[in-house]
């Protein structure tokens, strides 16, 4: 559901020369409207991409993790804010470098085009999830997305570095509903909630089924086992 656009870019860009920056929990990486100076690749940890809203809430657009790129968008300002969720390590590349490459190398510029395109596609998926599914299903989608990108076994222990508040803002609901949705998934024996930041996935197929029944819009991001 989030930017899986890294692979192509990695090849072209000289990331090895990039600086590594370390964040602890809930540090701002950049804010919407900041002048864009760097693009980042997540090396470890999780990032939260969001926009602040007038009502004090925020709309979260994703939680990029290891190997995903953030800050990649046209314009000279960031269009989203980024926050570290837990201890996080980022590799930073000056945009100037990216810009120079893009201006001279059409092929590279096209990679940018593709990367943003897939980001757009991901955002559309999110929009569909929010618009069309109930709270329990949305939670299932969220967990599957995490599980998929974490690339684990069948019985995964998911790490949730984000708070219930963040999850609520991501899925467009309240923390209470998040809590109840998790409880319901628990009752259904699909997951076990372990403390505030660990969730054991017991029945990934069940989740999958809940999340979208028909294959349609839940592409198994990374998960090798797709039963249907």
Q: Are the CB atoms for 137 and 210 separated by under 8 Å?
A: yes
String marking each residue 197-216 x if it binds a second copy according to CB under 8 A: ---------------xxxxx
Tell me the number of residues near a second copy by CB under 8 A. 64
Question: Interface with DNA includes 172 (CB under 7 A)?
Answer: yes
- Cα(207)–Cα(213) distance, rounded to whole angstroms? 9
Contact stretch for DNA (CB under 7 A) within 4-12, 108-116, 163-171, 200-208: 163-171
Q: How far is the CB of 182 from a second copy (least distance, A)?
A: 20
For residues 68-127, which are near DNA according to CB under 7 A? none
Degrees (nearest 5) of the Cα angle 55, 59, 63? 150
Radius of gyration of the chain from its Cα atoms, rounded to whole angstroms: 18
- Identify whether the C-beta of residue 123 lies closer than 8 Å to the C-beta of residue 11: no
Phi/psi at 188 (5° precision): -80, 0
206 binds, among a second copy, DNA, none (CB under 5 to 8 A by kind): none
The answer to whether 21 contacts a second copy (rule: CB under 8 A) is: no
Q: Are 108 and 101 in contact (CB under 8 A)?
A: yes
Exactly one of 109, 151, 153, 176 binds a second copy (CB under 8 A); which one?
109
Rounded-to-integer distance, Cα 70 and Cα 65, Å? 10
Per-residue DSSP letter, 199: E
Name the residues that contact a second copy, by CB under 8 A.
Answer: 26, 28, 31-33, 50-59, 61, 73-75, 79, 81, 83, 102-110, 112-114, 116-121, 123-124, 126-128, 130-132, 165, 172, 212-220, 223-227
Name the residues that contact DNA, by CB under 7 A.
Answer: 134-136, 163-165, 172-180, 182-183, 193, 195-197, 227-228
């Amino acid at each position: 559901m989030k930017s899986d656009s890294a692979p192509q870019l990695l090849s072209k860009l000289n990331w090895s020369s990039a600086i590594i920056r370390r964040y602890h929990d809930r540090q701002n990486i950049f804010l919407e409207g900041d002048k864009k100076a760097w693009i980042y690749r997540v090396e470890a940890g999780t990032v939260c991409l969001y926009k602040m809203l007038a009502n004090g809430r925020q709309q979260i657009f994703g939680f990029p993790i290891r190997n995903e790129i953030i800050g990649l968008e046209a314009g000279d300002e960031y269009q989203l804010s980024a926050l570290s969720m837990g201890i996080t390590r980022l590799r930073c590349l000056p945009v100037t470098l990216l810009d120079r490459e893009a201006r001279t190398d059409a092929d590279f510029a096209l990679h940018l085009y593709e990367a943003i395109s897939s980001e757009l596609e991901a955002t559309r998926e999110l929009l569909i999830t929010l618009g069309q599914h109930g709270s329990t299903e949305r939670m299932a989608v969220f967990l599957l997305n995490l599980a998929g990108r974490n690339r684990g076994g069948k019985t995964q222990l998911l790490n949730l570095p984000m708070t219930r508040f963040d999850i609520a803002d991501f899925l467009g609901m309240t923390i209470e509903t998040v809590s109840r949705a998790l409880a319901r998934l628990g009752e259904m024996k699909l997951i076990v909630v372990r403390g505030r930041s660990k969730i054991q996935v017991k029945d990934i197929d069940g989740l999958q089924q809940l999340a979208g029944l028909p294959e349609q819009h839940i592409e198994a991001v990374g998960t090798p086992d797709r039963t249907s």
